[in-house]
Structure 1
């Protein structure tokens, strides 16, 4: 078996039994596990346990994580082994439904697997020989004796292809290494202890596709097999571990998820054991890491007193206490301040260490008392300028927090949001402050957000890694053969794992532990689009969906050079035309399937095949400022277009309706025109930038006008309309720049509604996002998305973006349902929200802020995301 990297060793066979979760019967006797375990050597690195079931075949066809971990060649070998041996007519009845253990063992500088397969009935060696001889013609059977045991070599005729087998105690043991197999029968080799076996068996979940066991003290040994360099801070934490871990697998197609128990009670010299008596806490420091963080480890404590007393005892055992005590004594003598009673309580219950993609390191420490910190700042540090300080005394952070800060002897630090950020160079901190100002955080990326949705929000220790960001770090530390496998994208799929994390949560002296790995999928993170289309420029509008012929739909997209493209739902380009300008607002499809669209200087009406209707396009006498509104008043359809401070009117044939634009308004018309019929009056309503609302009749005559008091400030958001049966119960909504909305009745007094606090850069929309009888107020301001009921101003939800969000929200209509909200952030992350304000599964996804989300064809109820990325490609993802 070829060598592989550390994470894959621990997880190597996890996916083999994944589909058993869907079909298998796991109500097995746990004693089956212990029977084979007692013959495995004490030096075993890790063990996977699963049932041998016919349904495991599915895994070899559909589960990409399996192929990514073991490699294409090894995958082929295992598939052949399964089909030719385990599924053979002779062997299948003996092992069907039985327990299989796959254990991993060190052999010089590589890791070798050993298979242990339970047999459902007792057989002797002669019977086994007969079975093996009849397995097939592809193997040459070579029996031999060693250690008082009959071995069989199954040779395929090529180098290193011999599988060695032996039968004992109703178990078939097999390995491609004779030396590893021999350890089972060598009485001089110490075997796994009864206590360890009991731990594994007691924590084995019967309703899981696979159980994974490993010995904590072997983790550092695995790392040494793989690594060419010395341990750093991360791996130093596992170097002194004792005890064992038992995990059970949760099946998910695009992620590894393992959960279980970790016992570190024998790890008296282990830093991690300090957290066994703590309780899990919400961890927040990950939100402050810069976007270029490749990995981090976050620690949180619930009981500072027990942590610090435990740390002091650990430092004594490690013989570090004397050196640290001198530093503390120097500080106390100079400052006249108690380190334990004054300085230690200043810091909160969370601290973290991160490695950046350039291999620089930073530390983060939460400050609990900012006043006390400010009062004592000059006693333990000195300013070096640019809001950066340096510790005056060595090893104070090591004394406070232990191993994670051992390398920060006299670090520099800066303060942001009551968090101390430390580094060994001032340049690292200046770069961090720049990232902080620009809000370029790791937590704002799609990978981090999707991974956070997998793992627990509460923990005492969380280790997080993004292999792509940390690729250079990983390759620098792996031995050549393992580095080669890691880079080999044809044979392996390590590059398709977006992120990994490991968590420990204290559990009255032991730990609840879990491991997560996020893999690419068809919808998550833009893993695999349904189709793509290359354009030459960025798109300038969101994509639109229109009817093609009553049976099919098509997609309309405009790029920056004003070319309009039409695509079929399966990605075929139907046509393209060059328009004179950007399409404004929303194109409207009429009953005859023709589409009305407006640019700054022209009015278009074209068919789904891209050809203009007779009489179109039409040159506009004034510059349009938004898309058209189409009315049917008195059985006559007209097209109305806002043109800065006036309204243009046309028939459906493209004939201008004279005189309508002669009535100008005070200011710029905001967005689209609203229309309704109340009684005998047909209304056309325009809101302007001067906070005026004009009520016109269908011929352009002003019925009345209302001007609102906005303290002289102009407004910039669209108006909203509620049309009832009469003027007194019909309203227009208009938002000011100070957190209020004006409710303007067609007849009667205006009412001012206070919703919150926002400024001139806020986006206000009046849309149906709750699915109720009334539309709702939706506001995006100060990087927060808020939704309120228009009926009683109650809040539906609030969502705060970590990154900048300065693009107007998009709304996608659903027949008979509430609207879907879409937001594209400034760092090209696409969010889609449901009516509950929760981010929909699979989001955020990378892409520009102009996008579409919803169905794209008849007969297909799935939702699709249509967006563009920085490569100017259109990507279509199915959700």
Structure 2
């Protein structure tokens, strides 16, 4: 479930991503002290920033990505604001050399609203802006200090002006909330992070910044349930990301870096060398999502894991459990997994909602022998751990919910699940070569990104549809299958590669390759 929600968040990124593009030809140049940055980052998990020398409107006309990602309603609203309001000569002049931000926020009714933030340069003032709008024939009504604008095509939007700050939104509430705050006086870590990373984005088409601390608020608007159980992890993701948009008429690709704070499990991989991912070769063709982790030096990595356990106040308990197991069975558990684990672990979920995990091994036969005393037979191939938390003690968070799972060892992989039937189905697909790596969608998406990573999330939309349907609110699920929405997109990949304490990051939303009609192949 956690991986599904991560993927949902990344799909939201894609939806939000295209909003900036229609505004990118609004001239702007970063002012490091601008109040509009504080407004954009005050409540939002996602912020887009646009440079004044990038004109992408012609590029957008050559592809359908914009409408697909935004949806027809948001597309119409932003288009109307852009063409009927923001392109007015005086407004364009007023925002000349100022930066424009677009952020998205969830409200109490589970709707996601957009907010456009910019500021007026010293040559003009808010009164002149409002006067120009009224003279243009746009109907203007005042609602407690906020202006309701009725554009010529009947589109409604809201305008807020405070000193040199200008805010535009499809709803009044986001503006009202911000106008009450002393934005310039707030210590905003997210805004500071954006300033620090903006210097690396001068030559990019646009930038997306993510504040993972505020992602739970968006999740509550999108999914049915509360952030409990596996979803509780989103309350602890103290992380920021800075990503650059790369143009493609087929896919959506963001590249950049992610900073994850200490005491986060993912931070254990920030100093690891990215590994070539091969463990995915065993996944069934109906895999809905997976998360794979690469560890180049387990002994070194385990020291970081022990620190993570100490922070969670679990180190002593787990140490006692391992010692009790060693005493009970007259063996040393450190002679098993630390010695014979190779370099990759994975958790994956099937279209049936079944969950499995796996690690690759240096010597599967030797590992099987060493696990004999710790295991009981279910059948000839499948065994079960007698003692709980063995996998969690050696690998941490991904295997937290596999207490004493059933397992099978084949071809130097240890694969496990909480139900034996799940493993029997896995063995059947594996033996019949019905694997994810043989599907066209997976092959095409994999070819777009590097083979090496430290952490990699993957979602196959076709296989995940039932899972999405059961977890997403109906309006968001319908959008994933709508011709005007995400129907043509078949997978999402989120790669993190350790880089001296940070992560080099790739996010790919892959569009399905059109199937050629038989007649089109004829000469």
**Structure 2-normalised TM-score?**
0.89
Report which of the two has the higher share of helix: 2
Q: 1:32 Cα shift?
A: 5.8
Q: Which residue of 2 aligns with 1:6?
A: 9
Question: For the residues of structure 1 that align with 2:380 and 2:311, how far apart are their CA atoms?
Answer: 40
- Provide the C-alpha distance between the structure 1 equivalents of 2:42 and 2:118, rounded to a whole number of angstroms: 19
**Counterparts of 2:511 and 2:473, CA distance in 1:** 24
Deviation at 1:414, TM superposition (A): 1.0
Q: How many residues align?
A: 514
Q: In structure 2, what is the equivalent of residue 141 of structure 1?
A: 140
Aligned to 2:47: 47
**Residues 290, 346 of structure 2: 8 Å contact kept:** yes
Counterpart among 336, 353, 367 of residue 347 in structure 2? 353
Q: Is the 8 A contact 1:332 1:338 kept in 2?
A: yes
Cα 1:58/1:121, change in 2 over 3 Å: farther
In the aligned structure 2, how far is the partner of 1:219 from the partner of 1:313?
26
Question: Could you tell me which residue of structure 2 aligns to residue 302 of structure 1?
Answer: 296
1:421-570 correspondence runs (5 A): 421-487=415-481, 489-490=482-483, 492-520=484-512, 524=513, 527=514, 529=516, 531-532=517-518
> In the TM superposition, what is the alpha-carbon distance from 1:96 to its structure 2 partner?
5.8
* Superposed CA offset, 1:101-121 (max 9, x none): 001223213322110134455
1:574-608 residue CA offsets vs partner (Å, 9 max, x unmatched): xxxxxxxxxxxxxxxxxxxxxxxxxxxxxxxxxxx
Q: Within 5 Å, give how 1:473-872 maps onto structure 2.
A: 473-487=467-481, 489-490=482-483, 492-520=484-512, 524=513, 527=514, 529=516, 531-532=517-518
**Distance in 1, Cα, partners of 2:177 & 2:23:** 30
CA contact (8 A) 1:48 1:210 kept: yes
1:827 aligned residue: none
Is 1:117 the equivalent of 2:118?
yes
Deviations, residues 638-689 of structure 1 (Å, cap 9, x unaligned): xxxxxxxxxxxxxxxxxxxxxxxxxxxxxxxxxxxxxxxxxxxxxxxxxxxx
1:185: which partner in 2? 179
Bigger Cα displacement from structure 2, 39-48 vs 200-209 = 39-48
Q: CA deviation at 1:236?
A: 4.7
The structure with higher relative contact order (CA 8 Å, sep 6+) is 2
- In structure 2, C-alpha distance between the alignment counterparts of 1:238 and 1:383, rounded to whole Å: 37
1:53 and 1:247, CA in 2 relative to 1: closer, same or farther beyond 3 A?
Answer: same
Superposition map of 1:23-62 within 5 A: 29-31=29-31, 35-40=35-40, 42-51=42-51, 55-58=55-58, 61-62=61-62
Question: Contact 1:39–1:192 (CA<8 Å) still a contact in 2?
Answer: no
Q: 1:175 aligns with which of 163, 169, 178?
A: 169
Q: Cα–Cα, structure 1 residues 25 and 36, in superposed 2: closer, same or farther, change >3 Å?
A: closer
Aligned to 2:219: 223
The whole-number CA distance in structure 2 between the counterparts of 1:145 and 1:41 is 23
Contact between 1:33 and 1:99, CA under 8 Å: does it hold in 2? no
Q: Aligned match of 1:420 in 408, 414, 417?
A: 414
CA RMSD, Structure 1 to Structure 2 (Å): 3.0
Q: Describe the SS at the equivalent of 2:403.
A: coil
Q: For residues 536-561 of structure 1, what are the alpha-carbon distances to aligned partners after superposition, in whole Å with 9 as ceiling and x for unaligned? A: xxxxxxxxxxxxxxxxxxxxxxxxxx
Check the 8 A contact 1:41/1:190 in 2, yes or no. Answer: no
CA contact (8 A) 1:390 1:413 kept: yes
Q: CA 1:153/1:17 → structure 2, altered by over 3 Å: closer, same or farther?
A: closer
Q: Which has the higher strand share?
A: 1
Displacement of 1:340 after TM fit?
Answer: 2.5
The whole-number CA distance in structure 1 between the counterparts of 2:22 and 2:444 is: 23
**Secondary structure of 2:366's aligned partner:** helix
Q: What is the CA–CA distance in structure 2 between the aligned matches of 1:501 and 1:316, rounded to whole Å?
A: 32
In the superposition, relative to structure 1, how do residues 455 and 50 fare at CA in structure 2: closer, same or farther (>3 Å)? same
Gap change, CA 1:16 and 1:114, over 3 Å in 2: closer
Q: Cα gap change, 1:405/1:98 in structure 2, threshold over 3 Å: closer, same or farther?
A: same
Aligned position for 2:243: 247
> 1:369-427 CA distances to partner (integer Å, 9 max, x unpaired)?
33531431212212222311111111101111111111111111112210011111222
SS at match of 1:164: strand
The 3 A distance-change label for structure 1 pair 105 and 191 is farther
Q: For 2:398 and 2:348, how far apart are their aligned partners in 1?
A: 10
Take 2:144 and 2:385, find their aligned partners in 1: how far apart are those partners?
68
Asked whether the 8 Å contact 2:382–2:420 carries over to 1, the reply is yes
Look up the SS of the partner of 1:409 in the other structure: coil
Q: What is the correspondence of 1:89-104 to structure 2 with a 5 Å cutoff? A: 89-95=89-95, 98-104=98-104
Kept in 1: contact 2:22–2:82 (CA 8 A): no
